[in-house]
Amino acid sequence: MNNREMLERSLRAVWHPCTQMKHHELLPLVPVARAEGAWLIDFEGNRILDAISSWWVNLLGHGNPRINAAIVRQLQTLEHVMLAGFTHEPVVRLSERLAALAPGRLGHCFYGSDGASAIEIALKMSFHAWRNAGREAKTGFIALENSYHGETLGALSVTDVPLFRDTYAPLLRNCARVPSPDARLAEPGESARDFALRCARALESHLEAHAHQTAALIVEPLVQCAGGMAMHDAEYLRRARELCSRFEVHLIADEIAVGFGRTGTLFACEQAGIAPDFLCLSKGLSGGYLPLSVVMTSDSVYAAFYDDSLARGFLHSHSYTGNALACSAALAVLDILEEDRVIERNRATAAQINKATAPLRDHPQVRNFRNQGMIWAFDAADASPQFARDFFNRAVASGVLLRPLGNTVYWMPPYVLADAEIEFLARSLEQLMQ
């Protein structure tokens, strides 16, 4: 099969996500035949550097032999069994491993299939826990301005990106919004920390008036990713934790995109020294191999459901909850992160990428160059409606996958970039900004 045949068949049969299909009458899809390491390879052998880890999931690159082997081993014994009334070794081992690694005492794992389902689970679980505790007025949620938490109806209710939200607004619950601590919004001379504290005071004011009817605050720790890679000081998380504890409101940490080393620590919450009431994980959890998400929560939340009555149990399920193959992939990811000291190694990689891309910081078309762990972003001075699409197409033509969010150019590469690949990425970015 060649590229053209694959494109024609895909356009006839596949409805692609986050896509206006009519645009592909003029702008071709990118066909991928195989992948290895940091590279995607089409049907004619052309190579594209996957600088965004295929929507932030392929932490350890494509075709990792150790993850491959773990899945193959698991195939020999059990591919899947329902998790309602049954259990199996991979899901137990993964739950125990995650509980040992997560901040605080989050010893109870509830599994879903993707990030949006994890958010749905956390929102429902928070509401239901308060209901079981006799606090039935606590039904509302608070999210940050410009937040993104997924596109199912519950997740979309706590999302504040108009492109995704506005069309479906009549179907959504109302959700309170509080100011984002996005450091780009600070006043001249105001530090990122001081601005975070100012935003935390706005949260405090809201809770003073509405805590009695609020179930939870949901936050993307350190980086609001789909909202434009907005980065904030860890002080906001510390204050949010204090306020949620004081006002008896759950804190949901959406680490779907930023978990497993993306921000420089295994979990972003670690940098604030806090533990949430709910920790939502997905994307890199399985290394980009299989759909898997998990919501981790505390003994106190779990206890709110522990009862003789089925109606007081958490009535939520997914057919592939805790899939054995996906859990085995996740266990392999955790093994690699630990045994290869990947997060420690990433610090050297990040320093090298910062050095290679240093010229961009002073580029006349670059605004707000920023970095957090293994995430980089800048805002292009060109704010035209076609910027993202045009940049993406030029990038692919030059051999690198970069998919801007509006006028925000970002890269979140796999943790396996070699020196030559870092230099190629840096050169490509410079040439694309000419």
In this predicted model, what pLDDT tens digit does every residue of 245-295 receive, in sequence order? 999 999 999 999 999 999 999 999 999 999 999 999 999 999 999 999 999
Question: Is the domain of 212 the same as that of 83?
Answer: yes
Give the pLDDT confidence score for residue 217 in this predicted structure: 98
Q: Is residue 15 part of a domain?
A: no
Q: Are residues 78 and 125 in the same domain?
A: yes
Domain that holds residue 365: 32-63+342-432
Angle subtended at Cα 197 by Cα 252 and Cα 368, rounded to the nearest 5 degrees: 90
Q: What pLDDT is stored for residue 209 in this prediction?
A: 98
Domain boundary among 324, 339, 354: 339
Among the three residues 315, 339, 363, which one is the final residue of a domain in this structure?
339
pLDDT of the residue at 204: 98
pLDDT at 17: 86
**Final residue before a domain boundary, out of 308, 323, 339:** 339
pLDDT band at residue 29 using 50, 70 and 90 as cut-offs:
confident
- Report yes or no on 299 lying in a domain: yes
Does residue 314 fall inside a structural domain?
A: yes
On whether both 114 and 101 belong to a single domain, the answer is yes
The pTM of the full predicted model, rounded to 2 decimals, is 0.96
Can you give the pLDDT at residue 35?
Answer: 97
Return all residues near 314 (Cβ < 8 A) that are at least 6 apart: 110, 124, 125, 128, 305
Write b or e for each residue in 201-235: b if 16 or more Cβ atoms lie within 10 A of its Cβ, otherwise e.
Answer: eebbebbeeebeebbbbbbbbbbbbbbbbbbbbbb
- Co-location of 268 and 280 in the same domain: yes
Percent of the chain with pLDDT over 70: 100
Residues 331, 363 within the same domain? no
96 and 217 share a domain?
A: yes
Whether 100 shows a pLDDT value over 80: the answer reads yes
pLDDT confidence of residue 25: 79
**CATH number for the domain harbouring residue 424:** 3.90.1150.10
Res. 413: pLDDT tops 80 = yes
Same domain, 58 and 77: no
Return the structure tokens found at 309. Answer: 């009555």
DSSP strand pairing (108-112 vs 293-297): antiparallel
Into how many domains does the chain fold?
2
Does residue 223 lie within any of the structural domains? yes
Amino acid (1-letter code) at residue 14: V
- Whether 261 maps to a domain, the answer reads yes
Alpha helices per DSSP H over 181-226? 192-210
The predicted pLDDT at position 222 comes to: 98
In this prediction, residue 289 carries a pLDDT of 97
Same domain for 147 and 110: yes
Q: Are residues 309 and 406 in the same domain?
A: no
Residues 51 and 75 in one domain: no
Same domain, yes or no: 257 and 403: no
Q: Is the pLDDT of residue 26 over 80?
A: no
The CA angle 317-322-324, to the nearest 5 degrees, is 145
In the prediction, which pLDDT does 218 show? Answer: 98
E-strand spans in 97-249?
Answer: 108-112, 140-144, 176-178, 214-219, 223-224, 230-231
CATH code, 235: 3.40.640.10
Inter-axis angle of helices 65-75 and 324-339, to 10 degrees? 150
Do 92 and 119 lie in one domain? The reply is: yes
Q: What is the pLDDT of residue 27?
A: 79
